[in-house]
Structure 1
Amino acid sequence: MSTLPVITGLLSVPRLRVQNANAISSPFTWGFPAITAFTGLAQALERKLAGSLDLQFEAVGVVCHHYQAQTSGAYTQGFHLSRNPVDKDGSTAAIVEEGRIHLDISLLFGLTGEALAAPREQLPALARQVADTLHGMRIAGGSVTPPLPGRRRPAPLLMTLNEDEATRREEFRQLRRSLLPGFALVSRDDLLQSHLATLRASQPQADAFDAWLDLSRINHAPHWQEQADPAGGEPRRTLEWRSQRGHSQGWTVPMPVGYGALSPLYPAGSVANARDMHTPFRFVESLYSLGEWVSPHRLHDVSQLLWYADDDTASGLYRCRNDYAATLDIED
């Protein structure tokens, strides 16, 4: 397993209003764009800036301040779908379900590159240049919109990281204030593994998918309670249904974290109709894990917030990782 690349700078782009982002993150999950959408955004932004700025986007963090899923219904919700034009013969065209969501998010990018060596007084101009480029791009399929009337868009911040760990944590403590109020998405692979061990104590045949499904829903179990009879008779037994998902677990959510190989790695150009005929090709499927939404004020280091790519061609795993759980073990 790889670790977070060594980063020397941070770029904070606060309060981005994104309209009609993709709310369907995988075949099994919906409600927020997949984290791969944001790591892909970082790569696309790096390519757009390649001719003007020497910056490498090594990692990205996401903080959600507000969301509005484009759905209707109470208990059973359905997406608001667009009406497609009729066919040539006048019949109704097929509807392809598209989930959309409006977002108010802040993005934090972990950077390396020669551009970070610029004088401190030039960093605000470089931050605005990167932010202006980002405002013209799609974020998870959605469009970046201007601020609401009467409000100003907060200025982006580009900063270099101090080599001293204590100073770096203090700088991040000041930076995270701009991320409040909101919730940051972090990885909780550890909760999935621990719940799998708990599940196998009563169900030896359970696998990781069973544990993932069990954590993705709210389970209710019956509990019998005995109450003494004031008259001295037999105690009365009452049945009470209790939720098995405790509040101490936090705001956990099922989420896709990348892709796993379904086929060997084929040479470039050997698979017909591939999008890129100059890159090796492989069929993949989604990988799933557990995430948690935490308030930024509970984060103590930037590594707890950032997601980075972990590509293992030999094992066929292409996934995004986050070191939140690993840093919790170190602090404990």
Structure 2
Amino acid sequence: MEKTFTKRAGMAHSGDSSMNHNPDALLVLPWLRVQNANCISSPLTWGFPAISAILGFVHALERKIKSRYSDLNFSGVAVICHRFDPQIFSPGIRDNVFCLTRNPLNEKGESPSFAEEGRAHITISLLIKMESDAYYELNPSQREELAQDILKTSQGLRFAGGSFLSPYTKKSKARLSDWDVTGDSLKAELRRLLPGFLLTSREDLLIDRTIELQKVNPEATFLDALLDLSSLNYEPISTESDAEVVEWHIRKKPGWIVPIPVGYRSISKCYDAGEVINARDTEYPFSFVECIYSLGQWISPHRLTDTRKIFWKYDADVEKGIYRCISS
């Protein structure tokens, strides 16, 4: 296969010119089985791995594959979850807890301290926007070879700290197809990945709920709206204030809504490379950050009415110190 492609920047954020046009192809990595993925997605949430971990995997895959196909660029990813099996158990006296490792005793015969880790076995499918100037020069057999090469490379990477298990069915075969601006081929691919649920951003619900709360309490914040939409709220059906007996019901939500971490916000100045002691990487500038939260919705692909908002990508504002993941 011809691999003499021109060099292009990798996994660009939304401000780059490579993000402002349609991709050349759609890469589908279906039914990937991951063992022991990290399910502590943030300091406040646990469950499905954070979207930043998924974008990090796609970025690492792009950098790995560029050694052979330097023109390839991944500009967005959609994720479908088919199976989520958290490694938890109930001790009977409290809520579920994580299944943790039993480490060897120390020299005093005591159990050593360790950091709690949450793990889950998951099965997912990834739909990746792919850009390449030389893509349309490849014949069908070369495109199939490229897709399988990318799939094989991905199996050697970590996904949210977890390890990939080898594919076990024919439906796990990677697929590469031309990008269809009408969206019909994308909808067809999504239907092929049923049953499963697609993770989409619902930041609009968070904004609308904040406005509603501020009408009652002007000091209400986005955090109040996030907690309100993430909890079960019991409300009386009767609107009469002097009613002696009322019937209570759970407020309905507009779908399967969940709180999700979507990135980081700087809480300190940006230090020069190597200035902060014991930093993980001393080659790049360093900044202390805190997690950014938003709302997501798990939705079955056959219920989608708009496929333009399912792909996640990076969005960075260095001056404001905001590094987040958005869907578009």
Partner of 1:45: 61
The separation in 2 between residues aligned to 1:96 and 1:118, in whole angstroms, is: 51
Counterpart amino acid of residue 186 in structure 2 = F
- The answer on whether the counterparts of 2:27 and 2:176 sit within 8 Å (CA) in structure 1 is yes
- Equivalent residue letter for 2:97: G
TM-score after normalising by structure 2: 0.88
Residue number in structure 2 paired with 1:305:
310
Matches of 2:89 and 2:236, distance apart in 1? 32
Given candidates 190, 206, 229, the residue that maps to 2:220 is 206
Equivalent residue number for residue 45 of structure 2: 29
Partner residue of 1:125? Answer: 145
Using the TM superposition, give the Cα deviation of residue 266 of structure 1 relative to its aligned residue in structure 2, in angstroms. Answer: 1.5
Q: 1:17 to 1:5 in 2, by over 3 A?
A: farther
Task: Name the CA distance, whole Å, in 2 between partners of 1:139 and 1:95.
Answer: 22
Correspondence list, 1:83-122, <5 A: 83-121=102-140, 122=142
CA deviation profile, 1:158-191 (whole Å, cap 9, x unmatched)? 12324xx33xx12212221222111100000000
The amino acid of 1:140's aligned partner reads: A
Q: Distance in 1 between matches of 2:239 and 2:294?
A: 36
| Alignment of structure 1 residues 253-264 onto 2, 5 Å | 253-264=258-269
Q: What CA deviation, in whole Å up to 9, does each residue of 1:242-291 have, x standing for no partner?
A: 112x14x1101000000001111122222222222221111111000000
State the 1:99 CA deviation: 0.6
**Which residue is 1:156 aligned to?**
174
One-letter amino acid of the structure 2 residue matched with residue 76 of structure 1: D
Displacement after TM superposition at 1:297 (Å): 1.9
For 1:264, the aligned partner's letter is: K
Is 2:49 the partner of 1:59?
no
Percent identity for Structure 1 against Structure 2: 43
Give the counterpart letter for 2:39 in structure 1: A
How many residues align structurally?
Answer: 307
Superposition misfits of 4+ residues, deviation over 4 angstroms: 1-5, 223-226
**Amino acid of the residue matched to residue 177 of structure 1?**
R
Report deviation, 1:114: 3.4
Conservation of the 8 A alpha-carbon contact between 2:14 and 2:313 = no
Residue ranges of structure 2 left out of the alignment (5+ in a row): 1-12
Match of 2:157, as an amino acid? M
Deviations 1:188-215 (A, max 9, x none): 0000000011111222211111111111
Distance 2:40 2:236 in 1: 34
1:171 corresponds to which residue?
Answer: 185
8 Å contact from structure 1 (residues 224, 237) kept in 2: no
Structure 1 position 221, deviation (Å): 2.5
Query: Does the 8 Å CA contact 1:173/1:300 hold for their aligned counterparts?
Result: no
- In 1, Cα distance between the equivalents of 2:243 and 2:276? 70
Give the corresponding residue for 1:241.
Answer: 248
The offset of 1:152, in angstroms, is: 3.6
CA 1:317 to 1:242, structure 2 compared with 1: closer, same or farther past 3 Å? same
Cα displacement string for residues 10-32 of structure 1 (whole angstroms, at most 9, x for unaligned residues): 11000011111011000000011
- 2:44 partner amino acid: F
Question: 1:92 Cα deviation (Å)?
Answer: 1.0
Note if contact 1:196-1:206 (Cα within 8 Å) is conserved in structure 2: yes
1:95 maps to a residue whose letter is: F
Aligned Cα root-mean-square deviation (Å): 2.1
Mapped contact 1:220–1:243 kept (Cα < 8 A): yes
Gap runs ≥5 in structure 1: 227-234, 324-332
Counterpart residue number, 2:6: none
Is the contact between residue 262 and residue 284 of structure 1 (CA under 8 Å) also seen in structure 2?
A: yes
Counterpart Cα distance in 2 of 1:69 and 1:238 = 41
Q: 8 Å contact 1:11–1:109 — kept in the other structure?
A: yes
> Using a 3 Å threshold, how does the CA distance of structure 1 residues 8 and 201 change in structure 2: closer, same or farther?
same
**Structure 2: how far apart are the matches of 1:95 and 1:223?**
49
